[in-house]
Amino acid sequence: MMSLTNSPFEYALPHIQKLRGYTPGFQPKGDGWVKINTNENPYPPSPAVEAAIKEAMGDALRLYPDPRSDALREEAAKLHGVSSEQVIFGNGSDDILNLLVRAFAQESPAGYLLPSYSLYPVLCGIQGTGTVEVPFDRSMKLPFDALAKIEAKILFVTSPNAPTGVGFSNADLSRLIETFEGIVVVDEAYADFAEENATELLAKYRNLVVTRTFSKSYGLAGLRLGYGLADKDVISLLDRVRDSYNVNRLSQAGGLAALKDQRYLKAVAEKICRTRDYYRAEWEKLGWFCYPSQSNFLFVEPRNAAGEAGPKVAQELFEYLKANKILIRYFPSNPLTESFLRISVGDEDQMLRVSETIQKWLKNA
Ligand code: PMP
């Protein structure tokens, strides 16, 4: 047997040895949890999805899927009023974000805002590319002056933002896209819960990329499906760097059925928005600050019975809810997020349990 003098770890690329991988939200084992920590949909997907997946099963699974997911591209193009050459599908929108980093961020760094989706720096770390972080302040409005100064060929903007839920208007996004010398990616994972979205800007700006996911509003996080919309030259570059069969046969079938059922999507999104707005108002009545959310989660700064807010209070409530089998998300690593909790909007029963447990916490203090 050949023997290595060093650990196999030492043979890896230096930037991979240093890499810290992405930490996904905790997936609890066992029953009885209220799992509202990863912004999944509490409601099932359109019934048309299961029927389509069943039909796609069977003998056809011997065969590779359509490498381009063409039926999906055509349906999404129709939905957004663009040409099918302006659409690409991926194994979740994470796949599309990864392709963007691969294609645009090698030589020069990639820019992103803080706080926003924490996967962007991880994708850059895998690629060995530098990053430029542009911090928000507590207003959570786009910091235009700082963004105008960054040296990057690609900039990631999450809108509505995560974990705050704050959405950026098309007027603000246009201002940014017009002044940025490079590709602006507007990550619209939560756009179906928002007042506005950036797809209409695609007709105007060749440097805009919009990404979407089936994991939130469509209730299909388990399917792993997402897409990107952009100028056809951008899409053709992304097609060069993607895995040949990046969307499996069952996801293509299920995703197509979901896309075609826009009525179902709208009904579910409206129901979630109603629950979201109700609980935002409830928590504001307790004197808790909560960002105006255009997504399927609320970012709230809790106060204890003595009226105190801060990292200790947020951490304490997070632990209390967890001890009561309610799983939400706490982001202690940034001063702008350490006093807040992110609560995904669950169904009515789940939200009632959250609300009652918060009342118990306030009384027990
Ligand atoms: N973008 C943002 C802002 C997200 O919060 C998420 C979900 N974690 C994603 C993209 C990933 O979506 P998908 O499941 O399609 O990979």
pLDDT per residue as tens, the chain (365 positions): 667 788 889 999 999 999 988 888 888 888 899 999 999 999 999 999 999 999 999 888 999 999 999 999 999 999 999 999 999 999 999 999 999 999 998 788 999 999 999 999 999 999 999 999 999 999 999 999 999 889 999 999 999 999 999 999 999 999 999 999 999 999 999 999 999 999 999 999 999 999 999 999 999 999 999 999 999 999 999 999 999 999 999 999 999 999 999 999 999 999 999 999 999 999 999 999 999 999 999 999 999 999 999 999 999 999 999 999 999 999 999 999 999 999 999 999 999 999 999 999 999 87
The CATH code of the domain that includes 207 is 3.40.640.10
Statement to judge: residues 76 and 169 lie in one domain: yes
Of 261, 281, 296, the last residue of a domain is 261
In a domain, 75, yes or no: yes
Taking CA atoms only, the protein residue closest to ligand 1 atom 6 is 189
- Residue count of the chain, please give it: 365
Q: Secondary structure of the chain: what % helix, strand, coil (to 5)?
A: 45, 15, 40
Statement to judge: residues 230 and 354 lie in one domain: no
Of 240, 261, 282, the last residue of a domain is 261
Taking CA atoms only, the protein residue closest to ligand 1 atom 7 is 189
Statement to judge: residues 222 and 80 lie in one domain: yes
Statement to judge: residues 228 and 86 lie in one domain: yes
Taking CA atoms only, the protein residue closest to ligand 1 atom 8 is 38
267/305 Cα distance (integer angstroms) = 37
360 CA distance to ligand 1 centroid (A)?
33
Statement to judge: residues 209 and 350 lie in one domain: no
In contact, 71 and 256? CB cutoff 8 Å: yes
Of 231, 261, 291, the last residue of a domain is 261
Range of the domain at 354: 9-44+263-364
Mutate which of 101, 116, 117, 299 to test ligand 1's pocket (most atoms within 8 Å of Cβ)? 117
- Whole-model pTM: value is 0.96
Which residues form the pocket of ligand 1, taking CB atoms under 6 Å from any ligand atom?
92-94, 117, 158, 162, 187, 189, 213, 215, 221, 226
Statement to judge: residues 20 and 128 lie in one domain: no
* Start-to-end CA span in the chain (Å): 63
191/197 Cα distance (integer angstroms) = 6
214 CA distance to ligand 1 centroid (A)?
9
322 CA distance to ligand 1 centroid (A)?
23
